[in-house]
Amino acid sequence: MARCSRPTWRTGERVDAVTARTVRLGGGEVLEADVVVLGVGATPNVELAEAAGLLVDDGVVTDEHFATSHPDVYAIGDVASTLHTGRGEAVRVEHWDDAVRQGEAVASVLLGQDAAYDWEPYFFTDQYDLGMEYVGHGSGDDDVVVRGELDDGAGDGEFIVFWQRDGVVTAAMNVNIWDVQDDLRALVGQEVSAERLADPNVELADLA
Ligand SMILES: Cc1cc2nc3c(=O)[nH]c(=O)nc-3n(C[C@H](O)[C@H](O)[C@H](O)COP(=O)(O)OP(=O)(O)OC[C@H]3O[C@@H](n4cnc5c(N)ncnc54)[C@H](O)[C@@H]3O)c2cc1C
Protein backbone atom coordinates (compact mmCIF):
# COMPACT_ATOMS: atom_id res chain seq x y z
CA MET A 1 0.00 0.00 0.00
CA ALA A 2 2.73 2.46 0.97
CA ARG A 3 4.35 2.07 -2.44
CA CYS A 4 1.14 2.87 -4.32
CA SER A 5 0.80 6.45 -5.49
CA ARG A 6 -2.99 6.14 -5.49
CA PRO A 7 -5.30 3.17 -5.14
CA THR A 8 -8.16 2.55 -7.54
CA TRP A 9 -11.46 2.76 -5.69
CA ARG A 10 -14.22 0.32 -6.63
CA THR A 11 -17.35 1.35 -4.78
CA GLY A 12 -20.70 -0.43 -4.72
CA GLU A 13 -19.03 -3.81 -5.27
CA ARG A 14 -19.92 -7.00 -3.44
CA VAL A 15 -17.17 -9.43 -2.47
CA ASP A 16 -18.21 -13.05 -3.02
CA ALA A 17 -14.99 -14.85 -2.14
CA VAL A 18 -11.46 -14.21 -0.87
CA THR A 19 -8.64 -16.71 -1.35
CA ALA A 20 -4.96 -16.44 -0.48
CA ARG A 21 -4.24 -14.59 -3.73
CA THR A 22 -7.56 -13.44 -5.19
CA VAL A 23 -10.76 -11.56 -4.48
CA ARG A 24 -13.88 -12.52 -6.47
CA LEU A 25 -16.41 -9.75 -6.92
CA GLY A 26 -20.17 -10.20 -7.12
CA GLY A 27 -20.15 -9.84 -10.91
CA GLY A 28 -17.71 -12.73 -11.24
CA GLU A 29 -14.58 -10.65 -11.85
CA VAL A 30 -11.50 -12.02 -10.09
CA LEU A 31 -8.87 -9.56 -8.83
CA GLU A 32 -5.36 -10.72 -7.99
CA ALA A 33 -4.04 -9.61 -4.61
CA ASP A 34 -0.76 -9.93 -2.72
CA VAL A 35 -2.45 -8.94 0.52
CA VAL A 36 -6.13 -8.50 1.38
CA VAL A 37 -6.90 -5.92 4.06
CA LEU A 38 -10.37 -6.12 5.58
CA GLY A 39 -11.82 -2.89 6.97
CA VAL A 40 -14.97 -3.42 8.99
CA GLY A 41 -15.27 -0.21 11.00
CA ALA A 42 -15.08 0.19 14.75
CA THR A 43 -17.52 -0.07 17.63
CA PRO A 44 -17.03 1.28 21.15
CA ASN A 45 -15.92 -1.28 23.71
CA VAL A 46 -18.72 -0.76 26.25
CA GLU A 47 -18.95 -4.18 27.90
CA LEU A 48 -17.23 -3.02 31.09
CA ALA A 49 -19.49 0.03 31.34
CA GLU A 50 -22.59 -2.08 30.75
CA ALA A 51 -21.51 -4.60 33.37
CA ALA A 52 -21.05 -1.71 35.80
CA GLY A 53 -24.62 -0.59 35.14
CA LEU A 54 -23.78 2.63 33.28
CA LEU A 55 -26.22 3.97 30.71
CA VAL A 56 -24.96 2.96 27.26
CA ASP A 57 -26.37 4.05 23.90
CA ASP A 58 -23.85 4.03 21.05
CA GLY A 59 -21.13 4.54 23.66
CA VAL A 60 -21.12 5.45 27.32
CA VAL A 61 -23.75 8.16 27.72
CA THR A 62 -22.60 11.35 29.47
CA ASP A 63 -23.96 14.81 30.05
CA GLU A 64 -22.15 17.86 28.66
CA HIS A 65 -19.73 17.71 31.60
CA PHE A 66 -18.68 14.12 30.75
CA ALA A 67 -20.53 12.66 33.77
CA THR A 68 -22.01 9.21 33.20
CA SER A 69 -25.20 7.92 34.81
CA HIS A 70 -23.11 7.06 37.89
CA PRO A 71 -22.09 10.15 39.89
CA ASP A 72 -18.51 8.93 40.40
CA VAL A 73 -17.78 7.88 36.82
CA TYR A 74 -16.84 10.11 33.87
CA ALA A 75 -16.25 9.05 30.27
CA ILE A 76 -14.36 10.75 27.44
CA GLY A 77 -12.88 9.93 24.05
CA ASP A 78 -13.98 7.39 21.47
CA VAL A 79 -16.10 5.44 23.93
CA ALA A 80 -18.16 8.40 25.18
CA SER A 81 -21.44 9.62 23.72
CA THR A 82 -21.50 13.14 25.11
CA LEU A 83 -24.17 15.82 25.07
CA HIS A 84 -22.87 18.64 22.87
CA THR A 85 -23.99 22.01 24.18
CA GLY A 86 -24.20 23.71 20.78
CA ARG A 87 -26.08 20.90 19.08
CA GLY A 88 -28.28 19.84 21.97
CA GLU A 89 -27.71 16.20 21.08
CA ALA A 90 -25.26 13.45 21.92
CA VAL A 91 -22.13 13.33 19.79
CA ARG A 92 -19.67 10.44 19.72
CA VAL A 93 -16.70 10.92 17.44
CA GLU A 94 -13.48 8.99 17.00
CA HIS A 95 -11.08 11.92 16.65
CA TRP A 96 -7.69 12.31 18.31
CA ASP A 97 -8.22 16.03 18.92
CA ASP A 98 -11.52 15.43 20.69
CA ALA A 99 -10.02 12.76 22.94
CA VAL A 100 -7.24 15.17 23.98
CA ARG A 101 -9.55 18.15 24.52
CA GLN A 102 -12.10 16.09 26.42
CA GLY A 103 -9.30 14.88 28.69
CA GLU A 104 -8.37 18.46 29.49
CA ALA A 105 -12.02 19.45 29.94
CA VAL A 106 -12.91 16.59 32.27
CA ALA A 107 -9.84 17.40 34.36
CA SER A 108 -11.24 20.91 34.78
CA VAL A 109 -14.63 19.48 35.74
CA LEU A 110 -13.04 17.23 38.35
CA LEU A 111 -11.27 20.29 39.76
CA GLY A 112 -14.62 22.00 40.18
CA GLN A 113 -14.34 24.30 37.16
CA ASP A 114 -17.09 24.82 34.62
CA ALA A 115 -16.00 23.00 31.47
CA ALA A 116 -18.34 21.45 28.93
CA TYR A 117 -18.34 19.84 25.50
CA ASP A 118 -18.89 23.07 23.60
CA TRP A 119 -16.38 22.99 20.73
CA GLU A 120 -16.78 21.66 17.22
CA PRO A 121 -15.15 18.26 16.68
CA TYR A 122 -12.03 18.33 14.49
CA PHE A 123 -9.78 15.82 12.80
CA PHE A 124 -6.93 15.84 10.32
CA THR A 125 -5.81 13.03 8.08
CA ASP A 126 -3.48 12.42 5.16
CA GLN A 127 -4.54 9.96 2.48
CA TYR A 128 -1.73 9.53 -0.05
CA ASP A 129 -1.19 13.02 -1.50
CA LEU A 130 -4.42 14.43 -0.08
CA GLY A 131 -4.14 16.24 3.23
CA MET A 132 -7.39 17.22 4.87
CA GLU A 133 -8.87 18.80 7.97
CA TYR A 134 -12.52 18.46 9.00
CA VAL A 135 -14.45 20.49 11.52
CA GLY A 136 -18.03 19.98 12.69
CA HIS A 137 -20.26 16.94 12.69
CA GLY A 138 -21.99 16.33 9.38
CA SER A 139 -24.27 13.48 8.48
CA GLY A 140 -24.70 11.33 5.40
CA ASP A 141 -28.15 12.89 4.94
CA ASP A 142 -26.79 16.45 4.76
CA ASP A 143 -26.54 18.43 1.54
CA VAL A 144 -22.99 18.60 0.19
CA VAL A 145 -21.51 21.74 -1.39
CA VAL A 146 -18.07 21.80 -3.03
CA ARG A 147 -15.93 24.93 -3.43
CA GLY A 148 -13.22 24.31 -6.04
CA GLU A 149 -12.59 21.31 -8.23
CA LEU A 150 -13.06 17.86 -6.72
CA ASP A 151 -9.89 15.82 -7.00
CA ASP A 152 -9.85 13.99 -10.33
CA GLY A 153 -7.31 11.39 -9.29
CA ALA A 154 -4.34 13.32 -10.66
CA GLY A 155 -3.40 14.48 -7.19
CA ASP A 156 -3.86 18.17 -7.85
CA GLY A 157 -7.17 18.56 -6.04
CA GLU A 158 -7.53 21.62 -3.83
CA PHE A 159 -11.07 22.06 -2.62
CA ILE A 160 -13.36 22.61 0.35
CA VAL A 161 -16.46 20.56 1.09
CA PHE A 162 -19.35 21.88 3.17
CA TRP A 163 -22.17 19.85 4.69
CA GLN A 164 -25.49 21.63 5.24
CA ARG A 165 -28.77 20.78 6.94
CA ASP A 166 -31.71 23.13 6.33
CA GLY A 167 -29.24 25.71 5.03
CA VAL A 168 -27.10 25.57 8.17
CA VAL A 169 -23.46 24.49 7.85
CA THR A 170 -22.94 21.32 9.90
CA ALA A 171 -19.35 20.58 8.88
CA ALA A 172 -16.56 21.64 6.54
CA MET A 173 -13.43 19.97 5.23
CA ASN A 174 -10.43 21.59 3.54
CA VAL A 175 -8.44 19.35 1.20
CA ASN A 176 -4.89 20.38 0.21
CA ILE A 177 -5.77 23.95 1.24
CA TRP A 178 -4.26 25.19 4.48
CA ASP A 179 -4.70 27.86 7.14
CA VAL A 180 -8.48 28.07 6.66
CA GLN A 181 -9.63 26.15 9.74
CA ASP A 182 -10.47 29.27 11.74
CA ASP A 183 -12.73 30.50 8.94
CA LEU A 184 -14.36 27.09 8.50
CA ARG A 185 -14.89 26.65 12.23
CA ALA A 186 -16.62 30.04 12.35
CA LEU A 187 -19.03 28.90 9.63
CA VAL A 188 -20.26 25.76 11.41
CA GLY A 189 -23.72 26.49 12.81
CA GLN A 190 -24.22 29.46 10.48
CA GLU A 191 -26.92 29.71 7.82
CA VAL A 192 -25.22 30.40 4.49
CA SER A 193 -26.57 29.88 0.98
CA ALA A 194 -25.08 27.02 -1.02
CA GLU A 195 -24.33 29.45 -3.84
CA ARG A 196 -22.14 31.62 -1.62
CA LEU A 197 -20.41 28.61 -0.08
CA ALA A 198 -19.49 27.33 -3.54
CA ASP A 199 -18.44 30.72 -4.94
CA PRO A 200 -14.62 31.04 -4.84
CA ASN A 201 -14.96 34.79 -5.36
CA VAL A 202 -16.52 35.17 -1.91
CA GLU A 203 -13.80 35.17 0.76
CA LEU A 204 -14.28 32.47 3.39
CA ALA A 205 -13.97 35.11 6.10
CA ASP A 206 -16.91 37.00 4.56
CA LEU A 207 -19.28 34.02 4.58
CA ALA A 208 -20.09 33.89 8.29
C1 LIG B 1 -6.11 3.13 12.35
C2 LIG B 1 -6.58 4.40 13.00
C3 LIG B 1 -6.29 5.61 12.39
C4 LIG B 1 -6.73 6.81 12.98
N5 LIG B 1 -6.45 7.99 12.35
C6 LIG B 1 -6.87 9.14 12.89
C7 LIG B 1 -6.60 10.38 12.26
O8 LIG B 1 -5.97 10.43 11.20
N9 LIG B 1 -7.03 11.53 12.86
C10 LIG B 1 -7.73 11.51 14.03
O11 LIG B 1 -8.11 12.57 14.53
N12 LIG B 1 -8.02 10.34 14.66
C13 LIG B 1 -7.61 9.16 14.11
N14 LIG B 1 -7.90 7.97 14.73
C15 LIG B 1 -8.72 8.00 15.94
C16 LIG B 1 -7.89 8.28 17.19
O17 LIG B 1 -6.80 7.39 17.25
C18 LIG B 1 -8.82 8.09 18.39
O19 LIG B 1 -9.90 8.99 18.28
C20 LIG B 1 -8.13 8.32 19.72
O21 LIG B 1 -7.03 7.45 19.87
C22 LIG B 1 -9.13 8.08 20.85
O23 LIG B 1 -8.48 8.14 22.09
P24 LIG B 1 -9.12 7.40 23.34
O25 LIG B 1 -8.21 7.67 24.47
O26 LIG B 1 -10.56 7.77 23.44
O27 LIG B 1 -9.15 5.85 22.96
P28 LIG B 1 -7.92 4.86 22.68
O29 LIG B 1 -6.75 5.60 22.09
O30 LIG B 1 -8.52 3.73 21.90
O31 LIG B 1 -7.49 4.38 24.13
C32 LIG B 1 -8.33 3.52 24.90
C33 LIG B 1 -7.42 2.65 25.74
O34 LIG B 1 -8.23 1.92 26.67
C35 LIG B 1 -7.75 0.60 26.72
N36 LIG B 1 -8.85 -0.25 27.20
C37 LIG B 1 -9.97 -0.63 26.55
N38 LIG B 1 -10.73 -1.41 27.34
C39 LIG B 1 -10.08 -1.52 28.51
C40 LIG B 1 -10.35 -2.19 29.74
N41 LIG B 1 -11.47 -2.91 29.91
N42 LIG B 1 -9.46 -2.07 30.73
C43 LIG B 1 -8.33 -1.33 30.59
N44 LIG B 1 -8.02 -0.67 29.45
C45 LIG B 1 -8.88 -0.78 28.44
C46 LIG B 1 -7.32 0.29 25.30
O47 LIG B 1 -6.41 -0.77 25.26
C48 LIG B 1 -6.67 1.62 24.90
O49 LIG B 1 -5.31 1.67 25.24
C50 LIG B 1 -7.47 6.77 14.18
C51 LIG B 1 -7.74 5.55 14.79
C52 LIG B 1 -7.30 4.37 14.21
C53 LIG B 1 -7.61 3.05 14.88
Q: Is the confidence at residue 38, as pLDDT, over 90? A: no
Q: Is the confidence at residue 7, as pLDDT, over 80? A: no
Counting from 1 in the atom list of ligand 1, the atom nearest the Cα of 93 is 19
Counting from 1 in the atom list of ligand 1, the atom nearest the Cα of 42 is 53
Does the ipTM exceed 0.90?
Answer: yes
Cα 138 to ligand 1 centre (Å): 21
How does pLDDT run across 104-135, given as a tens digit for each residue? Answer: 999 999 999 999 999 999 999 998 888 999 99
Tell me the mean pLDDT in the region 128-146. 94
Counting from 1 in the atom list of ligand 1, the atom nearest the Cα of 125 is 8
Q: Is 95 in the pocket of ligand 1 (CB under 6 A)?
A: yes
Q: How confident is the model at residue 151 (pLDDT cuts 50, 70, 90)?
A: low
Give all domains of the chain, ordered by start, each with its CATH number.
Answer: 1-40 (no CATH), 47-110 (3.50.50.60), 122-206 (3.30.390.30)
Angle made by CA atoms 119, 90, 75, in degrees to the nearest 5:
80
Please give the Cα distance from 97 to 95 (Å, whole number).
6
Mean pLDDT, rounded, of the chain: 93
Q: How confident is the model at residue 201 (pLDDT cuts 50, 70, 90)?
A: very high
How does pLDDT run across 165-177, given as a tens digit for each residue? Answer: 999 999 999 999 9
Q: What is the pLDDT of residue 20?
A: 86
Q: Is the confidence at residue 155, as pLDDT, over 70? A: no
Cα 73 to ligand 1 centre (Å): 19
Determine the residue of 95, 122, 133, 135 to mutate for testing ligand 1's pocket, defined as the one with the most ligand atoms within 8 A of the Cβ atom.
95
Please give the Cα distance from 74 to 60 (Å, whole number).
9
CA atoms within 13 A on the CB side of 180: 24
Q: Is 127 in the pocket of ligand 1 (CB under 6 A)?
A: no
Cα 78 to ligand 1 centre (Å): 7
Q: What is the pLDDT of residue 128?
A: 83
Q: Is the confidence at residue 5, as pLDDT, over 70? A: no
Residues paired with 173 in a beta bridge: 134, 161
How many other C-beta atoms are found inside a 10 Å radius of the C-beta of residue 46? 19
